[in-house]
């Protein structure tokens, strides 16, 4: 599913695809050493790219049995 743009000149309080206005879910997609923040509409499933990103914590080796 493609990521839709958000208009930086408008509020990000409702989904531009379906009009849902109760709020978004947040998704974090890892890209290398960064996480990018996506907003997901819980009503129609549209995904929006926020342009926000932050440095990912250091990956830890998996423990045996986990």
Q: How far is the CB of 40 from Zn ion (least distance, A)?
A: 9
In the complex with Zn ion, which residue's Cβ is closer, 15 or 38? Answer: 15
Q: How far is the CB of 19 from Zn ion (least distance, A)?
A: 7
DSSP three-state, residue 28: strand
Q: How far is the CB of 41 from Zn ion (least distance, A)?
A: 3
Contacts with Zn ion, residue ranges (CB under 5 A): 15, 17-18, 20, 41, 43-44, 46
Structural contact between residues 38 and 47, judged by C-beta atoms closer than 8 angstroms: yes
Single out the residue of 64, 60, 63, 35 nearest to residue 50, CA to CA: 35
In the complex with Zn ion, which residue's Cβ is closer, 36 or 40? Answer: 40
Could you give the angle at the alpha carbon of 10 between the alpha carbons of 9 and 16, nearest 5°? 130
């Amino acid at each position: 599913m493609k990521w839709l743009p958000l208009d930086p000149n408008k509020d990000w309080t409702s989904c531009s695809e379906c009009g849902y206005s109760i709020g978004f879910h947040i998704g974090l997609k890892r890209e290398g050493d960064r996480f990018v923040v996506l907003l997901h509409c819980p009503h129609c499933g549209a995904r929006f790219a926020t342009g926000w990103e932050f440095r990912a914590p250091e990956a830890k080796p998996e423990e045996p049995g986990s």
